[in-house]
């Protein structure tokens, strides 16, 4: 649940205000699609308080956060008006030297991708120690003690060992803890966290959020938390500011905004969060007996562990093999039957083998052992030529709509290509491409344009049209909405669901997000470390998870309590 219920604007004293932003405006370059990235934004954060700034991509939330630290990509993006008062001092006017002092000691920032934010060639301990070296006059031993103590503070296991570790030797969650330690080490008044959990697994995300809350209570630090995820807001925020097109459209206490949103945009964002209410099995009278269209038996896939020509060298010079890992068992003896016409979600965290499984099923990856039959045809061990007739049975929608369309090919050609390869005439294939574009909610005219003219959601629709062009029986969707904004996510999910029903597709939906799984699939398969740990109807799994890991996953969904609280008000998705 959300923490305290401080009231936003009736604080008479300004003593406990850490940050006060007064009608801050940030200009965008002349060629941008709007003139101001941030338009007259006014916000305050008090001591020990968490303010969540929520918005979709392009809302100006990150620019706003960077403006506070004056980390804007100048000279075109710059502050053009307003004040940023940090404990009464206007940061917007400070000179470069003053800014350095402020950045080090009084404000700290935690970035989204800890792997990029950390220097890969320095041990993490040294990177933090360096901050102390520059800003304090502690001795070397004292600095080290302080860093290790901070590592303990952020609950890093074995802090002495982590001190000497390089970023690549740590897990994603550990790296983010190191980043948080780095921001805490000088005990700043304000921490700005820009989507710090977006790149993390859901269980790790839950841990990091708990850690941030706990640290904040202990140190009384103010926290400005940028996110696009309303679940995260519900977990951590005291107060919420919703941003859209550079403006704050709603600003108030978390309980108020989350439960009784006033602005229609806030309401639409909250509605777009996939509900935790699981969908029930479709109770349509089943005509055909439930025969499996896809059968997986004893599938195995191992990465690495191959003898390479350099191994004899590694034996002579043991240092060489340091850091090289042994074989990774990506898929460990998986058995799975998918019934024709069903929608099955493969849920798991990164490294669980869900994507590898999908890639083996679609022939992008060769399984080491086992068998996969698609409507009776064995596919393991087929070469590319033998695969070709099967392409019209099984197709894939990819994760990143910005990478999955060839930027140099017109949309119409992208979609028509599959049908042409299956032997369709060029003009018939193009006519079908036009129909498909309309089917996925775009105009037929879009066929003449290039992918870069479309937004992420539109591109994903094009990706779906491409997969459907060969009239497949099975559609594998690999995290098809994880790269999209919340409001667009829902539209794409609904489109997939609708198309699936209309064409009687069998859908295998790969996701790390249980909510998304619950929204579109009647069945869930939970994967961990390449094994299936649980499988069952979505409703059953949500009501009564059998495996510990499933329980952890369910408990980690951010904003769970809030959604249950909201449950009565949101329409139940299941039919």
Chain residues binding another protein by CB under 8 A are 29, 31, 76, 362-364, 384, 387-388, 391, 395-396, 398-400, 403-409, 417-418, 421-422, 463, 466, 470
CB of 414 to another protein, least distance (A): 8
Which of residues 34 and 218 has its CB atom nearest to another protein in the complex? 34
Other Cβ atoms within 10 Å of 251 Cβ, number = 20
DSSP string, 536-575: EEHHHHHHS--SHHHHHHHHHSTTHHHHHHHTTTSPP---
CB of 389 to another protein, least distance (A): 8
**Helices 548-556 and 202-219, interaxial angle, to 10°?**
50
Which of residues 203 and 422 has its CB atom nearest to another protein in the complex? 422
CB of 201 to another protein, least distance (A): 21
Q: In what order do the strands lie in the sheet with 107-110?
A: 107-110, 190-194, 222-227, 50-54, 239-244, 247-253
Copy the structure tokens of residue 45.
């954060």
Which of residues 407 and 571 has its CB atom nearest to another protein in the complex? 407
Copy the structure tokens of residue 12.
């008479």
Which of residues 274 and 472 has its CB atom nearest to another protein in the complex? 472
CB of 484 to another protein, least distance (A): 15
Which of residues 35 and 101 has its CB atom nearest to another protein in the complex? 35
Which of residues 359 and 528 has its CB atom nearest to another protein in the complex? 359
Other Cβ atoms within 10 Å of 498 Cβ, number = 13
Alpha carbon distances (Å) from 53 to 5, 43, 59, 72, 262: 17, 10, 10, 18, 16
Which of residues 339 and 362 has its CB atom nearest to another protein in the complex? 362
Copy the structure tokens of residue 448.
């003449």
- DSSP 3-state percent helix, strand, coil across the chain (nearest 5): 40, 25, 35
Task: List the one residue out of 198, 201, 261, 266 whose CA is nearest residue 229.
Answer: 198
CB of 466 to another protein, least distance (A): 7
Which of residues 499 and 526 has its CB atom nearest to another protein in the complex? 499
Q: What DSSP character marks residue 103?
A: I
Alpha carbon distances (Å) from 180 to 216, 238, 335: 11, 20, 41
CB of 1 to another protein, least distance (A): 40
Copy the structure tokens of residue 293.
């269209």
Task: List the one residue out of 464, 485, 22, 504 whose CA is nearest residue 228.
Answer: 485
**Cα 288–Cα 289–Cα 295 angle in degrees, nearest 5:** 110
CB of 469 to another protein, least distance (A): 8
Which of residues 31 and 312 has its CB atom nearest to another protein in the complex? 31
Which of residues 269 and 372 has its CB atom nearest to another protein in the complex? 372
CB of 203 to another protein, least distance (A): 27
CB of 440 to another protein, least distance (A): 16
DSSP three-state, residue 252? strand
* Cβ partners under 8 Å of residue 494, min gap 6: none
Copy the structure tokens of residue 8.
């936003």
Alpha carbon distances (Å) from 361 to 393, 480, 525, 562: 12, 17, 15, 37
Which of residues 166 and 303 has its CB atom nearest to another protein in the complex? 303
CB of 564 to another protein, least distance (A): 36
CB of 531 to another protein, least distance (A): 25
**Backbone region of residue 28 per phi and psi (left: phi > 0; alpha: psi in -120 to 50; beta: other values):** beta
Which of residues 99 and 390 has its CB atom nearest to another protein in the complex? 390
Residue 545 CA to residue 254 CA, distance in Å, equals 30
């Amino acid at each position: 649940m959300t923490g305290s219920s401080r009231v936003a604007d009736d604080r008479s004293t300004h003593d406990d205000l850490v940050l006060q932003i007064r009608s801050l405006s940030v200009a965008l370059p002349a060629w941008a699609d709007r003139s101001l990235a941030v338009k007259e934004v006014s916000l305050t954060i008090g001591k020990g308080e968490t303010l969540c700034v929520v918005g979709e991509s392009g809302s100006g939330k990150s620019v706003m956060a960077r403006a506070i630290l004056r980390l804007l990509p100048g000279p075109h993006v710059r502050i053009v008006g307003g004040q940023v008062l940090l404990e009464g001092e206007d940061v917007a006017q400070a000179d470069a030297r003053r800014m350095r002092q402020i950045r080090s000691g009084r404000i700290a920032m935690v970035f989204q991708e800890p792997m990029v934010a950390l220097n890969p060639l320095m041990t993490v301990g040294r990177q933090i120690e360096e901050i102390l070296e520059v800003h304090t006059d502690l001795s070397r031993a004292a600095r080290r003690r302080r860093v290790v103590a901070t590592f303990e503070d952020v609950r890093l296991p074995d802090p002495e060992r982590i001190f000497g570790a390089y970023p690549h030797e740590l897990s994603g969650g550990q790296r983010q803890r190191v980043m948080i330690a780095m921001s805490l080490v000088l005990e700043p008044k304000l921490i700005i966290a820009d989507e710090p959990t977006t790149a993390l697994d859901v269980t790790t995300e839950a841990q990091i959020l708990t850690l941030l809350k706990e640290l904040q209570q202990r140190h009384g630090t103010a926290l400005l938390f940028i996110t696009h995820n309303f679940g995260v807001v519900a977990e951590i925020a005291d107060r919420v500011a919703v941003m859209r097109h550079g403006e704050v459209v709603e600003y108030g206490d978390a309980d108020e905004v989350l439960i009784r949103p006033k602005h229609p945009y806030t309401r639409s964002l909250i509605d777009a969060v996939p509900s935790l209410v699981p969908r029930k099995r479709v109770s349509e009278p089943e005509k055909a007996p439930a025969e499996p269209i896809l059968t997986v038996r004893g599938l195995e896939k191992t990465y690495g562990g191959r003898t390479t020509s350099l191994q004899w060298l590694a034996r002579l010079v043991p240092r060489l093999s340091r850091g090289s890992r042994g074989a990774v068992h990506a898929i460990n003896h998986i058995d799975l039957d998918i019934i024709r016409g069903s929608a099955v979600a493969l849920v798991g965290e990164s490294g669980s083998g869900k994507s590898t499984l999908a890639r083996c099923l679609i022939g992008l990856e060769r399984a080491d052992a086992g068998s996969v039959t698609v409507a009776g045809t064995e596919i393991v061990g087929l070469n590319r030529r033998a695969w070709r007739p099967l392409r019209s049975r099984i197709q894939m929608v990819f994760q990143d709509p910005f990478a999955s369309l060839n930027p140099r090919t017109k949309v119409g050609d992208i979609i028509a290509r599959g049908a042409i390869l299956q032997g369709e005439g060029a003009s018939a294939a193009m006519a079908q491409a036009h129909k498909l574009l309309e089917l996925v909610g775009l105009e037929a005219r879009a066929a003449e344009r290039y992918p870069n003219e479309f937004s992420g959601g539109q591109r994903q629709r094009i990706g779906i049209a491409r997969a459907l062009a060969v009239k497949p029986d099975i559609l594998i969707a690999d995290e098809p909405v994880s790269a999209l904004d919340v409001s667009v996510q829902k539209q794409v999910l609904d489109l997939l669901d609708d198309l699936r029903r209309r064409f009687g597709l069998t859908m295998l939906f790969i996701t790390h997000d249980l909510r998304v799984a619950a929204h579109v699939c009647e069945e869930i398969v939970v994967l961990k470390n390449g094994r299936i740990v649980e499988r069952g109807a979505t409703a059953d799994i949500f009501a009564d998870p059998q495996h510990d890991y499933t329980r952890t996953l369910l408990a980690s969904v951010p904003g769970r309590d809030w959604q249950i609280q909201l449950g009565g008000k949101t329409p139940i998705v299941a039919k």
